[in-house]
Structure 1
Amino acid sequence: MGGHAIEVRSDVVVKRYRSSGHDEPGREWRALGLLDAYAPGLAPAPVSADLEADPPVVVMSRLGGDAVRGKIAGRLVDALAEAVTRVQHGIPRRALEQVPPRAGHPVELLEQVRGWAAPAAPLDGDPTIAEALRAASAWVARPGLERVLARPGTPVFGTGDGNLANYLWDGTRVRVVDFEYSGRSDRAFELAEIGEHIAVWENDRHGMTAVLERLELTAEEAARLTECRRLMAMYWLLRTKGEVRSEQAVRMLALL
């Protein structure tokens, strides 16, 4: 991976960070300590760290299991829902309030996709992609959207990365790795990042929908989730190419 190098040993994993612009080593070390204290067994246990080294290093326990791939069904649906819930709600509110915000915020993402959308719209000859870009560009320019996304949602601990590869399944339970961008976040944004991540849609889109349906949302959370999912879908529409982009265009139009 571009942001770090990983050395897997018999009992521990050594992670060396090539990038620290978002305090990735510090975020990861903090997350491992908090989850070890309040949700033990869910994530690697912290072993040691040298955050001032060049490159910074974090050593953590090695977990069993493999990255989730293929069909998401049966016990795996419940195990994923349980893992997501424990990550988000395992840390008590008093401790969560002391955690810095995660790297990236809905408004920051909105500004990013607005900047990408204008030059992208006229460049694609695929009619479905062109329609999706036009519709998404109109949505992202909607007056008041920035104000909606700026409102604070339900506070949770966020991993900052919805990649399915960060969820390890051993046949019994799911555990979570990779907290480089983690921090205090809001529930809807985190769930949108999981539900709309391109790794999920390339793997089993229907299975992850079943996972999210296991999570009870308030009416306010559900409304915010819709807007955040549109934002994440547009992000991936603008980042992908080829057949994947065509499929993402269909997804974008469905969300709109």
Structure 2
Amino acid sequence: MADLQHTHELSYEGDRVVKRYLDSKPGAADREWRALNLLAEHAPGLAPEPIAYDGDVVTMSRIGGVPLRGLLARAVHVSAMADALAELHAAVPEQVLRGLPVRPWQREALVDWVRRRCGSWEPRDPLADRAVKEGLRWLEGWSPGETGIRPAFGAGDGNLANFLWDGSRVRIVDFEDSGRSDVAFELAELAEHVSMWVDGEVEIARRFELTPPEERRLRDCRKAHALVWLFLLSHEGPRNPPGTFRRQVERVLARLGA
């Protein structure tokens, strides 16, 4: 949910990036610093290099590349993005991953947030009202089914702008919500992020081989994330084209019917 909040300020000093976190995001600097160090050790080159950490300020190396959001993402970009994600998910050794905190906005927090938004929804449009009603009905019956799910290190933010194409590979930035997660949940968050479809659908999940339990979890988590975006987009702003909320309503109903 960090996407729609102003959580940090960036400044550039030559080949360095200084990221100053605001008080509205407790723990974000710790998570960013931990992620950068873990990836520097276990997946060097995938993310910025950690340089310094002082309170709520993280200094890291500046990496080149063009954000995939705003770029006409062709097959070569999506393939490179899938490679970067696979490397990220498997980067942290299992024994280390087990000791990491669960990333923010995992299933329990997501369910609680959506349930509260459903409860405070003010009727506004028959189709949107139907999406909220059906979403809440589905949510109340959602059983997690955690067996057979591969653990993963998750970046915690599915914004397409966080994936940088340098002409040969994709690298990843922004780890303020990172932590222990699982492959299916991370793919679901990414697939349903508004940046992945508002300018043209970027289908990433099908590039991963998932077990049957993971396929089921992916479908369910996509429904939950679609509901999150229903509420996030219910007050349309200048970030997205007019009509984005209506398209999201239709996505929610399509996901719930899948």
TM over 0.5: yes
In the TM superposition, what is the alpha-carbon distance from 1:203 to its structure 2 partner? Answer: 2.9
Q: Give the structure 2 partner of residue 39 of structure 1.
A: 43
Q: Give the structure 1 partner of residue 22 of structure 2.
A: 18
The alignment's TM-score, normalised by the length of structure 1, stands at 0.89
Taking the aligned partners of 1:245 and 1:150, their CA distance within structure 2 comes to 31
| Percent of aligned pairs sharing the same letter | 40
Q: Give the partner amino acid of 1:9.
A: E
Taking the aligned partners of 1:148 and 1:188, their CA distance within structure 2 comes to 12
Task: Give the unaligned 5+ runs of structure 1.
Answer: none
Q: Give the structure 2 partner of residue 250 of structure 1.
A: 250
Does structure 1 residue 195 correspond to structure 2 residue 191? yes
What is the CA deviation profile of residues 219-246 of structure 1, one whole-angstrom value per residue up to 9, with x for unaligned ones? 1101001110000000111221352111
In the TM superposition, what is the alpha-carbon distance from 1:95 to its structure 2 partner? Answer: 1.8
Does structure 1 residue 49 correspond to structure 2 residue 53? yes
Q: Give the structure 1 partner of residue 85 of structure 2.
A: 84
CA distance 1:203–1:19, shift in 2 (3 Å): farther
Alignment match of 1:4 (pick from 2, 8, 15): 8
SS of the residue corresponding to residue 202 of structure 1 reads coil
Q: Which has the higher helix share?
A: 1
CA distance 1:19–1:88, shift in 2 (3 Å): farther
What count of residue pairs does the alignment treat as equivalent? 244
What is the CA deviation profile of residues 183-228 of structure 1, one whole-angstrom value per residue up to 9, with x for unaligned ones? 11111111111000112122332x2x1x221111011101001110
Q: Give the structure 2 partner of residue 134 of structure 1.
A: 133
Worse-superposed segment, 78-87 or 127-136: 127-136
Does structure 1 residue 29 correspond to structure 2 residue 66? no
Q: Is the 8 A contact 2:104 2:179 kept in 1?
A: yes
Q: Give the structure 2 partner of residue 65 of structure 1.
A: 65
Taking the aligned partners of 1:245 and 1:182, their CA distance within structure 2 comes to 27
Taking the aligned partners of 2:72 and 2:127, their CA distance within structure 1 comes to 27
Task: Give the unaligned 5+ runs of structure 2.
Answer: 237-242
* Cα RMSD for the two superposed structures: 1.8
Taking the aligned partners of 1:151 and 1:140, their CA distance within structure 2 comes to 19
Q: Give the partner amino acid of 1:200.
A: M
SS of the residue corresponding to residue 231 of structure 2 reads helix
Q: Give the structure 2 partner of residue 162 of structure 1.
A: 158
